[in-house]
Amino acid sequence: METTDLHVHVFPYDYCRDRPSDSVGLARTAKIIRSFRDEATNSLLVDNGDFLQGNPMGDYIAYERGMKEGDMHPIIKAMNVLGFDVSTLGNHEFNYGLDFLMKTIDGADFPVVSANVTKGALAANPRDDELFLKPYVIVDKMIKDGVGNEHPIRVGLIGFVPPQIMNWDRRHLEGKANARDIVDTAKAWVPEMKEAGADIIIALSHSGIDANDRSDGMENASLHLADVEGIDALFTGHHHLVFPGPKYADMTGVDAEKGRLFGKPAAMGGFWGSHLGIIDLMLARDGNSWKITGFTTSAPSIFERDGRKVIPVVESEEDVLATVQAEHDQTLEYVRRAVGKTSAPLHSYFALIADDPSVQIVSQAQTWYIDQMMKGTEWEGLPILSAAAPFKAGGRGGPEYYTDVAPGDVAIKNVSDLYLYPNTVRAVAITGAQVQEWLERSAGIFNQIEPGKKDQALINNEFPSYNFDVIDGVTYKIDLTQPSKYDSKGNVLDANANRIVDLKFDGKPIDPNQNFVVATNNYRAGGGGNFPDINDGVVIFIAPDTNRDVIVRYIVDKGTINPSADSNWTFKSVDGATAVFETGPKAKAFMKDVRDVNIEAAGEGAEGFAKYRITM
Ligand code: MN
Ligand code: MG
């Protein structure tokens, strides 16, 4: 049985939104673990890493309470209750530094293995690497056969993490650690495990499944790892997906229905406790050893979906909850309390008509983060721009559906209000010409405005606000007398139309051939919104961190943030024209913050919205 990517989720609770959640929590997965234990005569329970970071409880322990010598980390307490046999490290275990990690795993009642993270430089031979942890363990178990006789078995368990930790956590690891290619590491250690008497060998691969050709230092190497002789079965993770499962259909070497990687049994148990990865092996005594004579794999879930509704299928285990009740309560207090301060109001009431603090802060944090991540890469030194869109901007969400945080304290729950989706950060490398097209696509949210005409509707309501990217780091004007170049789906409407004018970088007209790094999210970089040329082909950096986490880190790092918008985009004036748009009634208090747009109240809008007029 495998848990993976728990990210500190023990309670079925979404701390970011400060409300219960039925799709997360080791306390729920625990119910499935125990029912399998009751049913199966022989079992092992492993964790595949990324247990330490990824929700506010993790941040609370790391940033607020700390880990003194002898302190117990709540996720380890919960895991100890369940009696894990072994765990490995995921990439997020390094997010709070090595010292914090080592103190945390000191409290574990189970061994933690990791074969490919070294202290200092890599040795010539992997088996001479000086490692932080044991590369593998061999667990001695007695197993009961069908008629009740007991036999000894030696199960070898070896752990791997993506070598990209050296880039993602450079600030913690540079000069202290190194990481070796997953498959190379396995090839070195698995024969030794055999020599040491392992009857079967199970890889704990905190790495996803990728059918591309093997490359050195590959991040998602589980498929190629399955090809290593001597490995009998694999638990995978890191991808936050489910295996067996349809997400891995039609990949060469992968049987997504039967749960096989190059014919070997494999499973991935979702994330945040959502699923339990199960590999059910049929073993037969083979002389002095054991052989696998059959297997099935599965990944039962703690919930079902009915449309958008999440229906729990198991209850929480009370003893698991009880062990971290105190930290749960402290985390609730933490998410409701300030982690930093903002010197300006953070709101999105005018996000569609002017540069806006709620978008500005996201871009500031993304730029700050990508600047760190580009260090030591071939992209270091390229100008960094940042794309961000208003997520909560009324529309179908209604007149209250806006970000609205007053100056002063910023709490964690405000950050989730600011960044609604659990996206992860990505960066793309594109040219100045492609920056322009990105903005042309965004500018399709506006209707065309005719000179001289009054009270024209400004916003095309078919166009979702999350596709209205503002790009920070350049300045530009939007000329609404022009038709939109792209329609609301991203198809070219009018190839000759250009709404983006005066596009400048560093105060000078942008060079269409200059290269830029643009910070964005996995949705946009993966082709979401069908933005011209923005897809996997231009992605240069896939972050392990959510945009939300990056914003929290930015606020913690800065203490006080100043999200005042820098007015880097405005409308080009249109002779004699006015336009109207609707926003929440609470917008009134912030009218004075809107610079460069001539705006006045224009009465009530539909369904509780307030109407405003812009003199273009
Ligand atoms: Mn993870
Ligand atoms: Mg700006």
Q: Give the number of whichever ligand sits closest to the CA of residue 367.
A: 2
pLDDT band at 526 (very low <50, low <70, confident <90, very high): confident
Residue 238 has pLDDT above 90, yes or no: yes
Q: What is the DSSP string of 133-169?
A: SBSEEEEEEEEE-TTS-EEEEEEEEEEE--TTHHHHT
- Predicted pLDDT of residue 43: 96
State the Cα angle at 54 between 50 and 55, rounded to 5°. 135
238 alpha carbon, closest ligand = 1
Distance of CA 75 to the CA centre of its chain: 19
Q: How far apart are CA 167 and CA 272, in angstroms?
A: 24
Give percent above pLDDT 90 in the chain: 80
- Sketch the domain layout of the chain as residue ranges: 2-328, 339-615
Question: Which pLDDT value is given to residue 57?
Answer: 95
On whether the 339-615 domain is CATH 3.90.780.10, my answer is: yes
Average pLDDT across the chain, whole number: 94
Token pair in block for residue 274: 């959502």
pLDDT at 396: 74
pLDDT tens digit sequence for 80-135: 999 999 999 999 999 999 999 999 999 999 999 999 999 989 999 999 999 999 99
- Superfamily the domain 2-328 falls into: Metallo-dependent phosphatases (3.60.21.10)
Beta bridge partners of 306: 309
Q: How many other CB atoms are there within 10 angstroms of residue 559's CB atom?
A: 9
pLDDT at residue number 17: 81
Could you tell me the distance, in angstroms and rounded to a whole number, from the CA of residue 5 to the centre of ligand 1? 4
Of the candidates 616, 531, 521, 593, the residue with the CA atom closest to the CA atom of residue 351: 593
The answer to whether 234 and 260 have CB atoms below 8 angstroms apart is no
Which pLDDT value is given to residue 288?
85
pLDDT in tens, 334-348: 999 888 888 888 899
For ligand 2, the distance from its centroid to the CA atom of residue 399, given in whole angstroms, is 24
Cα 198 to averaged position of ligand 2 atoms, centre (Å): 59
Give the DSSP per-residue string, 74-135: HHHHHHHHHT-SEEE--GGGGTT-HHHHHHHHHT-SS-EE-SSEEESSPPSSGGG--BSSBS
Distance 547 CA to ligand 1 centre (A): 14
pLDDT of residue 421: 78
Closest ligand to Cα 47: 1
* Ligand nearest to C-alpha 470: 2
Higher pLDDT, 233 or 285: 233
Separation between Cα atoms, residue 577 and residue 322, nearest integer Å: 64
Q: What is the pTM of this model?
A: 0.81
Least confident span in 309-323, 400-414, 445-459, 578-592 = 400-414
pLDDT, tens digit, 9 for 90 and up, residues 38-81 = 999 899 999 999 999 989 999 899 988 999 888 999 999 999 99
pLDDT of 5 higher than 80? yes
- Among 258, 613, 555, 574, which Cα is nearest to 412's? 555
Residue type for 308, please? R
Q: Residue 10 in contact with residue 329, Cβ under 8 Å?
A: no
Please tell me the distance between residue 91's alpha carbon and the centre of ligand 1 in angstroms.
Answer: 7
The length of the chain, given as a count of residues:
616
Q: Which residue has the tokens 């609730």?
A: 332
Least confident of 14-18, 235-239, 372-376, 467-471: 14-18
Give the pLDDT of residue 314.
97
Instruction: Please give the distance, rounded to the nearest whole angstrom, from the Cα atom of residue 240 to the centre of ligand 1.
Output: 6
In the structure encoding, which two tokens stand for residue 182, read together?
């997953």
- pLDDT reported for residue 428: 98
* Closest CA relative to residue 391, chosen from 487, 504, 528, 552: 528
Rounded to an integer, the average pLDDT of 239-260 is: 96
Distance separating alpha carbons of residues 242 and 402, to the nearest angstrom:
34
Cβ partners under 8 Å of residue 167, min gap 6: 373, 376, 377
Rg of the chain over Cα atoms, rounded to whole angstroms, equals 27
Which ligand ends up closest to the CA of 236?
1
Q: Express each pLDDT in 357-399 by its tens digit.
A: 899 999 999 999 999 999 999 999 999 999 999 988 888 778 8
Q: In this structure, which ligand is nearest to the CA of 161? A: 1
Looking at the CA of 476, which ligand is closest?
Answer: 2
